[in-house]
Each structure stands twice: as C-alpha cells, then as structure tokens.
C-alpha cells in the first residue's frame, strides 16, 4: 500500500511526464502530416458515414488535428516552465538542483544519483530530495494557483 502523494509530489511527477506527452503529440503530428502526403490514393469525393467528403475536407481535418497538437505542446511547455519556476523559488540550491535533475532530466532516482554523482551516498540524495519536496510543498501552500 503506497502513501498518498502530496501536491508537490504530484507536480514533480507531472514535470517528469510532460516531455513524454510532448513526444507523443509530436509523433501524432508527424503521422497525421504523413497521411496527408500519402492520401491522394482515392478520388476527390468519398462517402463516409453517409456524408460526402472531399480530399480537401480530409486535408482540413488533418490541419485542424495538427494545429490542436501544436497548441497542446505549447501549453505543456508553458506548464513545464511554470513548475520549474516554482522549484526555483526553493531557497536551497542543492534542493533545487536535485529536483530539477531528478524530475526534468532523469527517468529514475538511480539515474539522477548517477548524474548528480551521489551513487555511493543514497541516504544523502534521499534526505536532500525529501527536504526539497517539503520546501516545494511549503511554496505551493503559499501560492494561490498551481
């Protein structure tokens, strides 16, 4: 049974997942655009779901999906910047460094310890990380919206 995550831990997990969402949206944009290049295989008019659809209708739908994905990527980038700005409000530089490295750059705690060169000192890493999460939680309590 795992403990319930506090606001700071949820925010940090969001920071870790944002690049994965962005990558998936970029792949979707690529796939959607490539379907536009290969789509002239059928005649200009087709019936789909009882409605006549032209090639132009399909191209407009592809552009709409791509525009939506680009807008979502921009929102995710802004969200990531906002989370990092919150982390940068932590007074202790080592705590900021550990959170940014762990959640914005690395996939796992072990990878973060390697990057931070704290592999032989796991207790120090986890102590600083715990304090950093507490500091972020305190910042969130004093922030209106996160």
- What's CA 79's distance to the chain center, in Å? 8
Evaluate whether 140 touches 86 at the Cβ level (below 8 Å).
Answer: yes
- In the chain, domain spans: 7-141
* Digit-coded pLDDT (tens) for 113-132: 999 998 788 899 999 999 99
The alpha carbon of residue 77 and the mean position of all alpha carbons in its chain are separated, in whole angstroms, by 7
CA atoms within 13 A on the CB side of 75: 8
pLDDT, position 95: 96
Supply the pLDDT for residue 143. Answer: 80
Q: Are 97 and 135 in contact (CB under 8 A)?
A: no
Specify the pLDDT at position 18: 95
User: Average of pLDDT values for 44-56?
Assistant: 55
Distance CA 145, CA 109 (A): 28
- Residue-wise pLDDT for 54-90, tens only, equals 555 666 666 777 788 889 999 999 999 999 999 999 9
Please determine, for residue 142, whether its predicted confidence score (pLDDT) is greater than 80: yes
What's the whole-model pTM score? Answer: 0.74
Confidence of residue 5 (pLDDT cuts 50, 70, 90): confident
In this prediction, residue 65 carries a pLDDT of 73
Average pLDDT for 40-66: 59
């Amino acid at each position: 049974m795992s403990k319930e995550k506090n606001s700071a831990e949820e925010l940090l997990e969001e920071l870790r997942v944002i690049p994965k969402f962005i990558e998936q949206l970029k792949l979707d944009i690529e796939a959607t655009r490539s379907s536009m290049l290969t789509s002239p295989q059928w005649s200009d008019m087709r019936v789909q779901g009882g409605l006549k659809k032209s090639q132009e209708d399909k191209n407009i739908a592809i552009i709409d999906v791509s525009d939506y994905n680009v807008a979502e990527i921009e929102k995710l980038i802004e969200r990531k910047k906002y989370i990092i700005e919150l982390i940068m409000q932590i007074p202790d530089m080592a705590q900021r460094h550990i959170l940014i490295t762990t959640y914005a750059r690395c996939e796992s705690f072990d990878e973060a310890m390697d990057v931070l060169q704290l592999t032989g000192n796991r207790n120090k890493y986890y102590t600083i990380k715990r304090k950093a999460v507490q500091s972020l939680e305190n910042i969130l309590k004093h922030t209106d919206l996160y």
